[in-house]
C-alpha cells in the first residue's frame, strides 16, 4: 500500500516519514463505513463543468509520482481554471507535503504572497 501513497525514494530513504504516517493511521484508523462513504462521494462528485467559472486565485498542487490520484488529473484541473497555477512537487507521491515539506511550503507560501 505504501507505493500508492509515497514516492519510492521516500519509502527507501525517509523511513521517519513512513513511520509517522503509519503511526497516525494506527492512532486514527478509518472505518470500513468511512472508506465506503468516501468512495461513494468521490464517484458521485463531478465539478468539471463548474471549475471553469472560478474567479479566485487557485493553486493546484500534486506530487509528480502520485499513483492514487494521477498527476495528470491535476494538470487537467489547472488547465480548466482560468489563471490557475500548477505546482508539481518532484520526488513525491500522493503525500507530497510530508515527503517534501520544505518544497511544498515554499510553493504554497510563494502563491499566498502573490495573492
Kindly indicate the confidence band of residue 95, based on its pLDDT and cuts at 50, 70 and 90. very high
pLDDT at 103 over 90: yes
Residue among 68, 88, 60 at smallest CA distance from 2: 68
In total, how many domains does the chain have?
1
* Positive or negative: CA dihedral 77, 110, 112, 14: positive
Kindly indicate the confidence band of residue 2, based on its pLDDT and cuts at 50, 70 and 90. confident
Whole-prediction pTM value?
A: 0.85
Give per-residue burial for 60-78: e unless 16+ CB within 10 Å, then b: bbbbebbeeeebeebeebb
Residues 93, 114: Cα–Cα separation, whole Å: 26
Residue pLDDT, tens place only, 31-42: 999 999 999 999
Percent of the chain topping pLDDT 70: 100
Residue holding cell 472505518?
Answer: 31
Q: Residue 65 is part of which domain span?
A: 2-114
CATH number at residue 30: 3.40.50.1820
Amino acid at each position: 500500500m505504501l507505493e500508492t501513497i509515497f514516492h519510492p525514494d521516500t519509502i527507501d530513504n525517509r523511513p521517519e516519514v513512513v513511520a509517522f504516517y503509519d503511526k497516525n493511521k494506527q492512532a486514527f484508523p478509518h472505518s470500513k463505513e468511512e472508506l465506503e462513504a468516501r468512495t461513494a462521494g468521490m464517484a458521485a462528485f463531478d465539478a468539471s463543468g463548474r471549475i471553469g467559472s472560478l474567479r479566485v486565485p487557485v493553486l493546484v498542487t500534486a506530487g509528480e509520482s502520485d499513483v492514487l490520484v494521477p498527476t495528470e488529473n491535476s494538470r487537467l484541473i489547472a488547465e480548466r481554471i482560468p489563471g490557475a497555477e500548477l505546482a508539481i512537487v518532484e520526488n513525491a507521491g500522493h503525500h507530497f507535503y510530508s515527503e517534501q515539506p520544505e518544497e511544498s511550503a515554499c510553493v504554497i507560501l510563494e502563491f499566498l504572497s502573490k495573492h
